């Protein structure tokens, strides 16, 4: 399908904007100016002043000499870009791809859009009418390439709509400046007597490259359509998006549920066909009073299971305040990943950590109690008990090292070792008895010591000598002495865990 572009040129962007805001100035001469090397230089002038010979680039002092009653406004940088962005966003009603074209234009990718307005002429008339009604003076053109549309919009004399394939002919009578060239190149072209694009557009390329550089060739190629030109849309279109507009505003939870179900079914069937799954989904509810309520869910793995995703949303429906009613629902999937097409299992027996039903369960839990409360542990290469396990970041993460079984480790580990009072025959014998929480335990059997050094590259402190002990009731404990015995200091003993 041939591409069609519309270039809109705002001749008096800033001055039109000011007149819109302050209608009193529509009959008064005024300019915008910005300080430049100690002088005030005009950046934009209204139609009235232009008629009197005041144009952009003049100094204010010179302009005042011509028109003593001139009003001067400060021009702030970035204002025209802000204005154009707003106008381009407005143009999204005509095409999903609207881009700003600094300093004073908008480019619309109208491919496949015009027929919705009943043809290209009606399409342009409609846009023109809208802007005129809003108070902007615009010129616009439609052509196969951005370059040609730009040129015709600004310099065209005959017609605004260049039929498909006719853009080269339309360019020929236009001046060299219509090709979006730098002033230096234009001056050089004019010096050689090449005033119209037709004079040089068909010249041999090596000759043009030698005299004018690569930039001219690029602009010619872009205008003729041999080189693709990209535009940056103001609102990047969300690829995975579904909309549902309602005839009557929706105010009940049941209504929201039905809407969500429909959107999810549509989106998921599309994702399923493309073998994709979403990781993040946002449901935006546009209220009658202009506010937007939204709920967001995330999944641990890419999913296109509508009923699962609905369950995730279900808990969040109560956070939506419908107010006077919701008239539009939009479901977006900003993060989408590939889902390999698994063959559906005929019966599901076992469920490992990689299984989807477990992942779906964890999604539900994570959405309710928070993702930070779900842990899975992997062995880490440390002997220090607190560091011997690490949190796994993903459900699919495999163990790089094996779990250690050569040393006894307690079934229950206290997060902070608790001090105990111990009677122990010196040196390095297991204790005979210890007092923990006001209860004396006489030790009958013991294993140890197992010395675990603190890793000096991580932290400093005394080592631990661990003993695996059993008291007279058969209860098994993990005790340790912190550091060496010393003459002047009493050794400190701790309980760190309970064995099974």
Partner 1 sequence: MTRTKQDIFQQLQKDLLLLQGFKIAQASNVIDIELGSIANAFPNGCFPTGAIHEFITTEKEHAAATSGFIGGLLSGLMKAGKACVWISRSRTLFPPSLKNFGVEPHQIIFIDVKNEKDMLWAMEESLKCEGLAAVIGEISEINFTTSRRLQLAVEKSRVTGLLLRHRPRSLNTIACIARWKIIPLPSETDDGMPGVGFPRWNVTLLKVRNGKPGSWKLEWSAGHFQHIYANIPAIQEEQIRKTG
Binding site for partner 1 (CB under 8 A): 348-353, 355, 357-358, 360-362, 364-365, 368-369, 373-379, 385, 388-389, 392, 399, 403-405, 408-415, 425, 429-430, 432, 443-448, 468-470, 472-477, 497-500
Determine contact, residues 437/414, Cβ cutoff 8 Å: no
Tell me whether residue 219 or residue 468 sits nearer to partner 1 (CB atom).
468
CB of 260 to partner 1, least distance (A): 20
CB of 106 to partner 1, least distance (A): 52
Determine contact, residues 399/357, Cβ cutoff 8 Å: no
Tell me whether residue 338 or residue 418 sits nearer to partner 1 (CB atom).
418
* Separation CA 331–CA 261 (nearest Å): 11
Q: Say whether 427 sits in a helix, a strand or coil.
A: coil
Tell me whether residue 287 or residue 468 sits nearer to partner 1 (CB atom).
468
CB of 429 to partner 1, least distance (A): 6
CB of 426 to partner 1, least distance (A): 13
CB of 277 to partner 1, least distance (A): 19
Angle, vertex CA 141, rays to CA 152 and CA 13, nearest 5: 95
Tell me whether residue 156 or residue 497 sits nearer to partner 1 (CB atom).
497
Tell me whether residue 35 or residue 403 sits nearer to partner 1 (CB atom).
403
Nearest to 56 by CA among 13, 102, 113: 13
Determine contact, residues 52/29, Cβ cutoff 8 Å: yes
Tell me whether residue 183 or residue 425 sits nearer to partner 1 (CB atom).
425
CB of 79 to partner 1, least distance (A): 51
The strand order across the sheet containing 326-338 reads: 241-250, 326-338, 276-287, 292-303
CB of 435 to partner 1, least distance (A): 15
- For 445, 449, 478, the CA distances from 473, given in Å and listed in that order, are 11, 22, 15
Q: Which two tokens stand for residue 459?
A: 């932290």
Residues 6+ apart with CB under 8 A from 384: 452, 454, 455
Nearest to 284 by CA among 314, 252, 326, 324: 326
Q: What are phi and psi of 486, to 5 degrees?
A: -140, 160
Tell me whether residue 188 or residue 364 sits nearer to partner 1 (CB atom).
364
Tell me whether residue 71 or residue 301 sits nearer to partner 1 (CB atom).
301
* Separation CA 161–CA 142 (nearest Å): 5
- For 151, 221, 401, the CA distances from 213, given in Å and listed in that order, are 21, 13, 61
* Separation CA 400–CA 379 (nearest Å): 8
* Separation CA 331–CA 282 (nearest Å): 6
CB of 438 to partner 1, least distance (A): 14
């Amino acid at each position: 399908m041939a591409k069609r572009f519309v270039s809109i040129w705002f001749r008096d962007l800033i001055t039109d904007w000011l007149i819109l805001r302050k209608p009193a100035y529509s009959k008064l001469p005024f300019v915008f100016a910005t300080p430049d090397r100690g002088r005030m230089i005009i950046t934009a002038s209204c139609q009235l002043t232009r008629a009197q010979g005041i144009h952009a680039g003049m100094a204010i002092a010179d302009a005042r000499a011509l028109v003593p009653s001139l009003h001067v406004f400060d021009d702030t940088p970035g204002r025209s870009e802000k204005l154009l962005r707003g106008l381009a966003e407005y143009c999204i009603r005509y095409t999903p791809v609207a881009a700003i074209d600094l300093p004073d234009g908008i480019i619309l990718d109208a491919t496949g859009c015009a027929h919705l307005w009943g043809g290209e002429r009606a399409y342009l008339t409609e846009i023109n009418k809208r802007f005129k009604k809003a108070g902007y003076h615009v010129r616009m053109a439609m052509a196969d390439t951005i370059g040609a549309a730009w040129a015709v919009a600004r310099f065209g004399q005959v017609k605004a709509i260049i039929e498909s394939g006719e853009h080269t002919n339309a360019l020929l009578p236009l001046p060299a400046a219509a090709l979006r060239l730098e002033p230096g190149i234009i001056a050089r072209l004019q010096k050689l007597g090449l005033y119209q694009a037709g004079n040089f557009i068909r010249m041999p390329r090596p000759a043009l490259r030698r005299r004018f550089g690569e930039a001219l060739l690029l602009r010619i190629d872009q205008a003729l359509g041999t080189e693709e030109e990209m535009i940056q849309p103001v609102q990047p279109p969300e690829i995975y998006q579904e909309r549902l507009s309602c005839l009557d505003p929706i105010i009940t939870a049941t209504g929201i549920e039905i809407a969500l179900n429909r959107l999810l079914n549509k989106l998921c069937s599309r994702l399923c066909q493309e073998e994709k799954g979403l990781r993040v989904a946002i449901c935006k509810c546009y209220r009658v009073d202009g506010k937007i309520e939204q709920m967001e869910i995330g999944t641990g793995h890419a999913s296109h299971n509508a009923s699962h995703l609905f369950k995730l949303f279900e808990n969040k429906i109560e956070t939506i305040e419908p107010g006077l009613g919701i008239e539009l629902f939009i479901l977006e999937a900003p993060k989408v990943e590939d889902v390999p097409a698994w063959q559906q299992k005929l019966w599901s027996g076992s469920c490992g950590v990689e299984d989807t039903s477990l992942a779906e369960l964890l999604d539900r839990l994570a959405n309710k109690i928070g993702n930070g409360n779900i842990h899975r542990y992997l062995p880490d290469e440390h002997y220090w008990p607190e560091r011997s396990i690490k949190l796994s970041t993903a459900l699919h993460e495999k163990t790089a090292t094996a779990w250690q079984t050569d040393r006894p480790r307690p079934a229950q580990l206290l997060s902070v070792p608790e001090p105990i009072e111990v009677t122990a025959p010196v040196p390095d014998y297991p204790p005979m008895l210890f007092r923990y929480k006001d209860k004396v335990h006489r030790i009958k059997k013991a294993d140890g010591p197992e010395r675990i050094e603190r890793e000096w590259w991580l932290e400093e402190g005394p080592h631990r000598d661990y003993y695996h002990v059993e008291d007279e009731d058969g209860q098994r404990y993990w005790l340790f002495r912190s550091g060496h015995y010393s003459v002047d200091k009493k050794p400190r003993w701790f309980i760190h865990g309970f064995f099974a």
